[in-house]
Chains A and B, each alone.
Chain A
Amino acid sequence: MTPLLSVQGLSKHYGAHIGCADVSFDLYPGEVMGIVGESGSGKSTLLNCMAGHLPPDAGAVVFDTRGHGPRDTVTMSEPERRMLSRTDWAFVHQHARDGLRMGVSAGGNVGERLMAVGARHYGDIRGKAVDWLDRVEIDAGRVDDRPTTFSGGMQQRLQIARNLVTGPRLVFMDEPTGGLDVSVQARLLDLLRGLVRDMGLSAIIVTHDLAVVRLLADRLMVMKDGHVVEAGLTDQVLDDPQHAYTQLLVSSVLQV
């Protein structure tokens, strides 16, 4: 089986400071991988390098494209990469405001991504937008409202709808449940799990919340100071951590 994404020796430095160093892994279709580590461990740098938001200093990010098979997205042209990020890739930001257009209606936010890949029929676009609002549990009556009038949890669900409407194969998520109430988080996690299973998505989730990765991720990578210190099956890494830092991380979680 060809990996959907193959990251090879990815490194990024900020001057003398290490962002992330020599990260390699393969992600297969339908797999969800979590990346955990404390603030400054390099997990967001890694995510942004993979998603094409930051140029890495070295390494390759090979994606199995629909048309041309495995291609290195680091060296591909900007228009090609942009097309990829509008079709097969999606990026869910921690702050929904970074991933939404706040001055455009909810339906417009979802429809915009469809139009970017060539949809033109207004009725179809609106129909699909309403369908997606329903799937992320936003009342169809809110389709013409702007996201500024939505709660934080609703904004996050709208961002997910906007990202998934084009049927991407790979979703990057940066702290998707960060800053939300626990009850809202649970609802979002349940929603994400259902979508990942039903659409057969692959996803890479960066978070510092170990409970989130336990529920969502099949595999886990633990980062410290820009390096991957441990990787493996999520429950194995959390229940039988081998590295000193992972042991510290797992034993530091407060029990409720």
Chain B
Amino acid sequence: MTAMIELDRLHKTFTLHNQGGVVIDVLSDVSLTVAPGECVALTGASGAGKSTLMRMIYGNYRAQSGAILIGGVDLVQAEPREIIRLRREVLGYVSQFLRVVPRVPTLDVVAEPLRAVGVGSDEARTRAKELLAQLNIPERLWSLSPTTFSGGEQQRVNIARGFAHPYPAMLLDEPTASLDAANREVVLSLIEDAKARGAAIIGIFHDEAARARVCDREIDVSRFTPARAA
């Protein structure tokens, strides 16, 4: 089966122009593939570059060289509009933090990814309600903006939003962090459902039990971290 996500000899440096032009080698020669229905965990100590790699795969950080192929599109070379289309239709990302327009009700925040791919307002809201109920967000909060919610509630709204549209490729940054046992279980079953429908998933999980349950493979990112001169 062909890979849904394929990284080929990726290289990443940060150049800090305003701090003496320091060049930091972050990742080099990253190659990996993820097949549909597969979940791969990125591991490695803090600072190894897990989040940087994840952000590169989302097109949020720029690669110095190499290729990131998702559904046949190379994010390193793609025009902004191609990346936007990819993010809308193919590539989902559940970050650790919810970023929303103030004042927009939770229900619409969750329904928005579906509206963006052309799903009608009623159908999108119905799906959003299902997910919010599944993630135990009380119904009385649905009409409020999530900006004032607790950390755990925001995280669950973020997950609901991330799983609203059935993306063929998904990136999950600590999806079970700051969740209680019941909600953690819901998220793990959402991930299992996504795998069952054929989604290719890359995740960062500090929760080892969760990682063991949903991930098929682990990739230690520190092996891509260039040896630093002392």
Contact = CB atoms under 8 A, between A and B. Distances in A.
A236 B101 contact: no
Interface residues of A, number: 23
B11 to A, nearest CB: 14
B59 A28 contact: no
Interface in B94-150: 101-104, 115-116
Contact of B101 (A31, A190, A218): A190
A219 B116 CA distance: 17
A247 B18 contact: yes
Interface in A218-241: 218-219, 232-233, 235-236, 239-240
Given A240-B62, A247-B16, A218 B80 contact: yes
Contacts of A215: 101
B15 to A, nearest CB: 8
Nearest to A31: B81
B18 A186 contact: no
Given A236-B60, A244-B17, A186 B81 contact: no
A218 B88 CA distance: 12
Contact of A190 (B17, B62, B104, B115): B104
Given A233-B80, A247-B16, A239 B61 contact: yes
B128 to A, nearest CB: 16
Contact of B55 (A28, A31, A239): A239
Interface in A192-221: 193, 197, 215, 218-219
Contacts of A197: 115-116
Given A189-B101, A190-B101, A218-B84, A236 B18 contact: no
A186 B60 contact: no
Contact of B81 (A28, A235, A242): A28
A215 B102 CA distance: 10
Most chain A CB neighbours (cut-off 10 Å) among B16, B80, B115, B116:
B80
Given A186-B102, A251-B18, A236 B62 contact: yes
B18 A243 contact: no
Contacts of A190: 101-104
A255 to B, nearest CB: 14
A190 B14 CA distance: 34
A187 B103 contact: yes
Contacts of A219: 80-81
Contacts, number: 52
Most chain A CB neighbours (cut-off 10 Å) among B14, B15, B101:
B101
A218 to B, nearest CB: 5
A248 interface: yes
Contact of B61 (A186, A193, A236, A244): A236
B70 interface: no
A254 B102 CA distance: 19
Contacts of A187: 103
A140 to B, nearest CB: 22
B202 interface: no
Contacts of B60: 233, 235-236, 239-240
A186 B103 CA distance: 7
A247 B17 contact: yes
Nearest to B61: A240
A82 to B, nearest CB: 30
Contact of A242 (B18, B55, B62, B83): B62
A233 B18 contact: no
A243 B62 contact: no
A232 B80 contact: yes
B101 A186 contact: yes
11 contacts: A31-B84, A190-B104, A193-B101, A197-B115, A197-B116, A218-B80, A232-B80, A233-B60, A233-B80, A235-B60, A240-B60
Q: Which 10 A/B pairs are nearest by Cβ-Cβ distance?
A: A244-B17, A186-B102, A240-B61, A233-B80, A219-B80, A190-B101, A218-B84, A240-B62, A186-B103, A247-B17
